[in-house]
Structure formats: C-alpha cells, structure tokens
Amino acid sequence: MENWLKKRIALSPTKLAVVTPETKLTFRELGDLVSKQMGLLAKLVKKGTHVGVLTNNNLTGYSLILALQQLGCVIVLLNKRLAAPELQYQLADAEVELLIYEDDLALVDLTGLEMVSFSELANQTSEACQGLAEFKPDEVTTIMYTSGTSGRPKGVCQTYNNHLYSALGSALNLGLTTEDNWLCVAPLFHISGLSIMMRSLIYGMTVTLLPKFDADEVMRYLVAADITAISVVPTMLKQLLALGQSSLNPAFRFFLLGGGPIDKPSLEKCQAQGWPVIQSYGMTETASQVVALSFNDAANHLGSAGKPHFFIQLKFASDGEIMLKGPNISPGYYHQALKNQRTFVDGWFKTGDIGSLDQDGYLYVKGRKGDMIISGGENIFPREIEDCYLKLAAVAEIVVAAKEDAKWGQVPVAFIKLKEDISREKLVTYGRKFLAHYKVPKEFYLVTDYPRTASGKIQRYKLLAQLAKLQKIV
C-alpha cells in the first residue's frame, strides 16, 4: 500500500492535520516537520531498527513517531509512567537499539543501549533522506506493551494492516470522515492515542492534541472548538459530567468510551443531557476497539459492549472465553513463541475475557478469565459483584478478588473505598438481596487506593498480598 503520509499530503495538503495549544499544522506542514525529523534521524537509524520512544503528548513526539514510521523503523512505544526497572525490561525484551526521549522525562539507571534526548536530536546534523514509498501490509510498524496485570508485560506486534483495518472498521462503525476533529487526550504510547494518529492519516481528519486529560480544559474544547469526537474511559466521562455543562459545540458527535461499561446512573445522565456515548471493547492486541455499542442501543442493552465491527469475527471457546479473528488482530507477541501458540490459535485470538451474546447478538463481557473466582465449583466474576455494590450509597469504589479457602477452594473478598461508615453486616445483607449467597464477599477491607499498572488497570494480586496490613470492616 502507498505510504499513508505521502498519500494524505497528495490528497489534502491544505487540510488541518494537527492542532495543539501552541500551533496548527496542515498535512503539508506536518509533512515538512516530519521530513525535518527524518533528516535528523538519518544517521542514527535505518530501516528495521528497533527504536524506543518516550514522549509526552506534544507535536515533537507526534512528528517523531511519524518520522520513524516513514523510515521503516519498528517503533517501541514506552509508557512514561514506568519505573526504571520496568523500562529496562521492555527495552531489552523488544531489542531496542536506540531510545529517544523527551528531556523532562528523567532517565536513570538505564544501561545497554544508545540514548538521545529530544534536544540532542535537534542538534544532530541533518541528512537528506526519503521515506518509504510503500508500506508492506504484514510488516510490523509498532510494538506496544500490555499492562501486565498478572505478570510480565508482553510486547504486542502491530502491523500496517492492523492499524489500517482498525481505522476502516472504526469508520464503518462510527461514520468518520475527513471533516472530523478528534480530541486526543489519551497518551500516544497507548493504543487509544496511537490509533487516533493512524486514523488521521487514513481518513484525513484533524487531531487536536492535548498534553493530558484535565476535565476543565477538555470541557472548554468540547464547548468552544469544533471537536466532533473524543476517546474517554469511565472516570474521565464522570469527571466531565460532574462539571454540569450540558451543551457542547454543535459539531460534536460522540464520546467513544473504552475501559469498561458505563454505570446506569452515568448513562442516564448522558442521555438526559443529550451526550452521545458509544461504548466499546478492544485492546492492544486488536489495535483499538473492535466491538461497539451505539448510543441508541445503550438503554436497551445496558452493560453490553455492542456488536463486532464489520471485519471482526467473534466466537467463544468451550469455557466462554471470547475469541476474535480479523485483519486488525496482532500477529503475536514479540519473541513469545509459547505464549503465541496458546493465544493465537488457527487465526483466532484468545482474548482472556469471558463473555456471552444475547439473543440479538450483543456482546456482554463478564470479566477476565484470570480474575474469575471458582468457589465450590461455581464460577464468580468480580465485575458482577462490583457493579452490584457500586449502587450502594456508602460505597465509593470496590474491587473484588479471589482469596484461597480450605473449604471452598476460593472465596470472593472485597476492597472498598467508602463515602460513609457502614458495617460488615449491612454490606452482607445488601449483597444477599441482589446476589447468590456464594457471590457475596466473605470479607471486606478498607483501602485508600488501588495498585495499578502504568496504564491504570487494577492489579488484584497486589491487593491480595496486602491483606494482612489492611483494616477489616467489622
């Protein structure tokens, strides 16, 4: 396929490509900036070089990612929140030869590779060079690490075809066009952020790039700018709802919600305000969302992730595990032959999530297979318990995990942030009104925070390791 950036510049040179708080660039101007970056990189890399990128959301990082893609490098996108040992592991695992990092992202104790900061790169002698004429569909262009909620993160290989069909599937599902302007507050090192960049080249749409999510700042853009779409997770959407601003700019079309289903009160508030929310399901291995629930269907299919995109096939393993097949599914994890044999079977990707379809073909995700609690032969999914208790006024947040038990094998226990004091007896009584008795947590622990991965996913196993130090609710 023809180089996306070159093709986009040829098709719409004067169309606005990227907007930041400091500047606006057309696709032609973005191309000029990328060419400048390519010249600075020319002495440091060649086609196929594995290059780590550590950046904030800004135009320099944005253009650098595109420049490396133009040169045919394999771009290893690194989470800026990682500690040095976590970074060191990923750099070694992905066989990174050069690390390019933003100056204010302090790096310590990293060894075994060449490193260059953004300012050092800017001082390199520029060389004339040409970008790839074509992108080979099955060639890996990016490697992005999974969160590692239960072990070592794995490097997900993503091909040009993966990103292309992710963009095409989104366009068919969401009705995206060159006229869209996507507000990007998701980090570029995350698939939700990177996929917005790729869509921009393929659709010709504008990306408005902000350094981070700040509810007040985002709301100003949603009201005053011609933003048509934004990707959010539930906590972001709730913060925006809390601002009490119902009217958005006339061009706005939808919030694309990932990271879990929206709760009923928040959905009802969105509906009352006329905020269109498209709930979705996807992951790094699928190059962003592959299942989506339209706003019009949300009320009748509460808790559903929706229906698969046009290019995606979906089926279930015998134990209910969701399996996906399609051209945007990763070819596998980098240097993980055994894991790949277990996870990618006959073209099908075993997601690790358990789910089911209703009679109308809508997908319901019950939870992670690894999070499932087996108590006395009964399967229990933490999400069901958590959703139940979140409706209780005293509960601010709750996470449920499996504790080993001599009699039952495992039992559910809960880790709770409270809005107000409540006794264990009242928590148990409440649970038994809505849940089977074996699903009601046997113990409740007070917490002030939850251990999370660098991308914000809760690590249940770390909560279990803290049991002896936590205060029980009695």
CA distances in angstroms from 46 to 69, 87, 97, 126, listed in the order given: 11, 23, 11, 14
pLDDT value of residue 113: 87
- Which domains, and CATH codes, for the chain? 4-366 (3.40.50.12780), 372-472 (3.30.300.30)
Element (H, E) at 105: none
| Per-residue confidence in pLDDT tens, the chain, 474 aa | 999 999 999 999 999 999 999 999 999 999 999 999 999 999 999 999 999 999 999 999 999 999 999 999 999 999 988 878 889 999 999 999 999 999 998 776 787 889 999 999 999 999 999 999 999 999 999 999 986 555 678 999 999 999 999 999 999 988 899 999 999 999 999 999 999 999 999 999 999 999 999 999 999 999 999 999 999 988 899 899 999 888 999 999 999 998 766 777 888 889 889 899 999 999 999 999 999 998 778 778 877 899 999 999 999 999 999 999 999 999 999 999 999 999 999 999 999 999 999 999 999 998 888 888 989 888 898 988 998 999 999 999 999 999 998 888 899 999 999 999 999 999 999 999 999 899 999 999 999 999 887 666 788 889 999 998 999 999
Q: Where are the beta strands (DSSP E) in 246-304?
A: 254-257, 277-283, 288-293
CA distances in angstroms from 188 to 191, 326, 367, listed in the order given: 7, 24, 26
Indicate the pTM of the whole model.
0.88
pLDDT value of residue 457: 75
Strands of the sheet containing 471-472, edge to edge, are 395-405, 409-418, 443-446, 471-472
- Alpha-carbon dihedral sign for residues 402, 404, 408, 411: negative
Instruction: Report the distance separating Cα 60 and Cα 17, nearest Å.
Output: 14
Query: What is the DSSP code string of 179-223?
Result: T-EEEE-S-TTSHHHHHHHHHHHHH--EEEE-SS--HHHHHHHHH
CA distances in angstroms from 361 to 170, 301, 305, listed in the order given: 19, 11, 11
pLDDT value of residue 370: 83
Instruction: Report the distance separating Cα 99 and Cα 120, nearest Å.
Output: 12
Instruction: Report the distance separating Cα 258 and Cα 260, nearest Å.
Output: 6
pLDDT value of residue 295: 75
CA distances in angstroms from 148 to 44, 239, 244, 366, listed in the order given: 31, 27, 36, 20
